Amino acid sequence: MRIATWNVNSIRARAARATAFLERSGTDVLAMQETKCTPAQFPAEAFEEAGYHVAVHGLNQWNGVAVASRHPILRVHDHFPGQPAFGDPAVVEARALGVVIDVSGALEGAPGSPAPAELTVWSLYVPNGRELDHPHYAYKLEWLAALRAQARGWLDADPAALVALVGDWNVAPQDQDVWDMAAFEGATHVSAPEREAFAAFAEDGWIEATRARTTNYTYWDYQRLRFPKNEGMRIDFAYASPALEARITSARIDRDERKGKGASDHVPVILDVR
């Protein structure tokens, strides 16, 4: 089974690329971020014609998250409990979408154990933070702390659950995750509080599934020839529950998806699950 996450940076502009990626890669579940549309505007027909079920959460032309799955979607959560709001008036933005997927028959059981029946995938678009002294930065840290609290509870409630927290985390956890740390001095994404908030998930038992299996950037800005110069950032990640991590056999970053006309500034991050 193949799971991928991808900040598509406007699904209406990239529906054809997204469905072509699904066909080419053989991806079974695709978590998307920054879809930039309401559910009514989401090009669901393109995915349905390709054989996928779709769950979508979007409020306007900003943010937005979605999941496309070859397997039936059993339940959908358009936010996590305690998800912070932002703005004036304060709104719980479309930044988290959890789907419970029927994987009966898709995954093997351990010897002497039944095959798992459900997989939970959270498509996450963590707030950017903007600047270190901006209210959006405090919101970002609050958002990550609230997600951590809920995620810790999910592991405590069912240690055997197959759960993936995937998406655009807007954090570069290590110096090697940006092309030049000097260029990020005093900037978001690399600050100690952000990195500590990201690492806290591992402290609770979550395992970032891509770091040990693949290396590359996942984002290159459109400006200043960042992609041709390979001046990128690694900010798209997949935290897996221990039970899911035990089933992951490989991971890769599809750098080639950044090439060509109409590319997103992010690329897909892909996990293979036994």
Q: What are phi and psi of 28, to 5 degrees?
A: -90, -35
Choose, from 52, 125, 137, 219, the residue flagged as catalytic.
125
Marked catalytic residue, from 53, 71, 189, 266? 266
Separation of CA 227 from chain center: 21
Q: Please list the residues that pair with 169 across neighbouring strands.
A: none
Tokens 């072509």 sit at which residue?
Answer: 20
Task: Find out whether 156 is annotated in a ligand binding site.
Answer: no
What 3-state DSSP class applies to 65?
Answer: strand
Establish whether 266 is an annotated binding residue.
Answer: yes
266 is catalytic: yes
Q: How far is CA 224 from the centre of its chain?
A: 26
71 is known to lie in a ligand binding site: no
Any known ligand binding at 265? Answer: yes
67: left (phi over 0), alpha (psi -120 to 50) or beta: beta
| Candidates 28, 168, 254, 272; catalytic one | 168
Q: Does residue 125 have an active-site annotation?
A: yes
Residue 168 is a catalytic residue: yes
Helix (H) or strand (E) holding 98: strand 96-102
Residue 77 in marked binding region: no
User: How many CB atoms lie under 10 A from the CB of residue 72?
Assistant: 11
- Annotated binding-site residue numbers: 7, 34, 168, 170, 265-266
Binding-site residues for Mg(2+) sit at 7, 34, 168, 170, 265-266
Would you name the residues annotated as active-site residues? Answer: 125, 168, 266
